[in-house]
Amino acid sequence: MTITVNKKRLYASAILCSLLSAPTYAANWLALQGTEPDSAAPRAKVWGFIQPEFSSTDGTKLKAGPWKGQNAIFNQMRPNLKTNEGFNVLRARVGVRGTGMPLDSNVNYFFLAEFGNNGITAEGGGSVKITDASVTLNHIPGARIRVGQFKTPGSEEGLQAIHVFDYINFTNATNGLLLERFFDGNGSGTNVVPGTPPTFNNSGDANRPNGPVSAFRDTGIQVFDIFKVGQWEHSYAVMIGNGNGITRGDNDDNKETYLYWSSELVFGGAGARRQGWKLFAWNQNGKRTLITEGAGEYDRTRSGLGTTFKKDKYRAAFEYMTADGMIFNGTDGGALPGASSNNGQTISSFNVETKGEADGMYVHFGYAITPELELDARYDVYNRMTDVAAKERKFETVTLGAQYFFNKKSRLIVNYEARKAEAPNQASTSNANQILDSIDDRIAAQLLIIF
């Protein structure tokens, strides 16, 4: 039976709608983000989603250190750090995707813009940022080519589409090692000489990021493809990027390399409702350049491996990652950036360790009690600066969650996060451990509406 072009487009629209609306089971993100069904995709499909949320902590003040009694950064609401609880429209994204039909259905494009209030839009000026703008060429068998700004191949938590993420917040390791912030300096230039005005980094802004977070994206070129062998589906990706996040050009002559491989045993289903067991590994390697405090070029390497399992009512995942080189290191004393110490001699700033080691992992389990209700539990741990005993910090979080699906395009997510942190090589009475003892548990609720 011959299928007309109009029916093909209708069929492709249905597939795309299911990808954007259904809970994901064992998705291949290389294929689903920017690659349309062969010869059956619409020329333009407008889509998007909105994520309003409420988040709350007890707002515990810092228990020790030069900023004792002041607000702790880890107890404030993202991204503005001005309150310990409140409402926010975290994400509001609108995009369009499709092919060059009828001229060439092998040419795909993917465009997405962020209107929400988060690390993408809060820094660098302006309230709207382009997160994705890529073109995929599917002409060469075994070597699809993607060019532009897009998700980098890497951690499952970062690579997956955010609107199917089972939780509200990322794990500690993913947030600290992969959701990259970019700085002009390392944060060492904010100490104040007594009797003189405070000095700041980055044009008087306490070494704040010089633009949006990476959002797990970069600008560059990627070669990738997917191969099916029996019930197994194998994927690879090799990417070269600027290594400078989104909405920026290259800031030096260095390039970032990204390597990715996954092999998945597919149990059944299709599209977003496919079920399977996936194994994956990835590596990112490049350099970062600072131009103010600590000026110079520094290595930055990230690697990881993991697995996901999704079948019937059960979902599970595990991932382990390591870091070497430049590492984001929070703020001075856990204080808010720009806050003056109690003696007026120091300004808290964002800090970067230009040479360090770290590792982290998470394990996740979910169970769908009914088609409408899913319960989730996740444990994650992040060990930062493990190569320097005095600087080592350990962050642990147990997240208990529930998802209620009103329909295929809307759901409510509720999370309770039991959080703790410590300096494992220091006495419990040390300033570092008293500061880290200030961290609160966090509750959050989020609506997801897809259109």
Question: How do the pLDDT tens digits run along the chain, 451 residues long?
Answer: 333 334 334 334 443 443 343 344 457 888 887 787 655 567 888 999 999 999 999 999 999 999 999 999 999 999 999 999 999 999 999 999 988 766 788 899 999 999 999 999 987 666 899 999 999 999 999 999 999 999 999 999 999 999 889 999 999 999 999 999 999 999 987 555 455 555 544 445 699 999 999 999 999 999 999 999 999 999 999 999 999 999 999 999 999 999 999 999 999 876 556 799 999 999 999 999 999 999 999 999 999 999 999 999 999 999 999 999 999 999 999 999 999 999 988 899 999 999 999 999 999 999 999 999 999 999 999 999 999 999 999 999 999 999 999 999 999 999 999 999 999 999 999 999 999 999 999 999 999 999 9
Among candidates 360, 349, 294, 361, which has minimal Cα distance to 326? 294
**Beta carbons of 77 and 83 less than 8 angstroms apart:** yes
Around Cβ 313, how many Cβ atoms within 10 Å? 12
How far apart (Å, rounded) are the C-alpha atoms in residues 256 and 288? 9
**Beta carbons of 35 and 438 less than 8 angstroms apart:** no
**Tokens 């856990």 belong to which residue?**
334
45-56 and 217-229 beta bridge pairing? unpaired
Calculate the alpha carbon distances from 377 to 57, 166, 307, 399, 400 in Å.
Answer: 20, 10, 16, 6, 5
**Beta carbons of 287 and 298 less than 8 angstroms apart:** yes
Superfamily covering domain 5-450 = Porin (2.40.160.10)
Calculate the alpha carbon distances from 41 to 16, 19, 108, 132 in Å.
Answer: 9, 13, 9, 19
**Tokens 């759901």 belong to which residue?**
411
How far apart (Å, rounded) are the C-alpha atoms in residues 284 and 299? 11
Among candidates 2, 72, 15, 50, which has minimal Cα distance to 332? 72
How far apart (Å, rounded) are the C-alpha atoms in residues 254 and 59? 42
Q: What is the pLDDT of residue 163?
A: 87
C-alpha atoms less than 13 angstroms from C-alpha of 187 in its C-beta half-sphere: 23
Query: To which H or E segment does residue 4 belong?
Result: none
**Beta carbons of 12 and 36 less than 8 angstroms apart:** yes
Q: Is 439 helix (H, G, I), strand (E, B) or coil?
A: coil
Q: Is 262 helix (H, G, I), strand (E, B) or coil?
A: strand
Amino acid at 118: N
What's the distance, CA 128 to chain centroid? 18
Q: What is the pLDDT of residue 195?
A: 54
How far apart (Å, rounded) are the C-alpha atoms in residues 39 and 35? 11
Among candidates 43, 134, 49, which has minimal Cα distance to 93? 49
Phi first, then psi: give them for residue 265, nearest 5 degrees: -85, 110
Pull the structure tokens for residue 110: 């993917």
Q: What is the pLDDT of residue 118?
A: 95
**Beta carbons of 232 and 263 less than 8 angstroms apart:** yes
Residues 409, 380, 359, CA angle at the centre, nearest 5°?
Answer: 120
How far apart (Å, rounded) are the C-alpha atoms in residues 235 and 289? 32
**Beta carbons of 74 and 61 less than 8 angstroms apart:** no
How far apart (Å, rounded) are the C-alpha atoms in residues 30 and 226? 8
How far apart (Å, rounded) are the C-alpha atoms in residues 330 and 104? 48
Q: Is 153 helix (H, G, I), strand (E, B) or coil?
A: coil
Q: What is the pLDDT of residue 430?
A: 96
Pull the structure tokens for residue 300: 């930055």
How far apart (Å, rounded) are the C-alpha atoms in residues 443 and 169? 11
List the end-to-end C-alpha distance of the chain, in Å, as a whole number: 33
Give 230: exposed, middle or buried? Use CB within 10 Å, 0-12, 13-18, 19+: exposed
Give me the residue spans of the domains in the chain.
Answer: 5-450
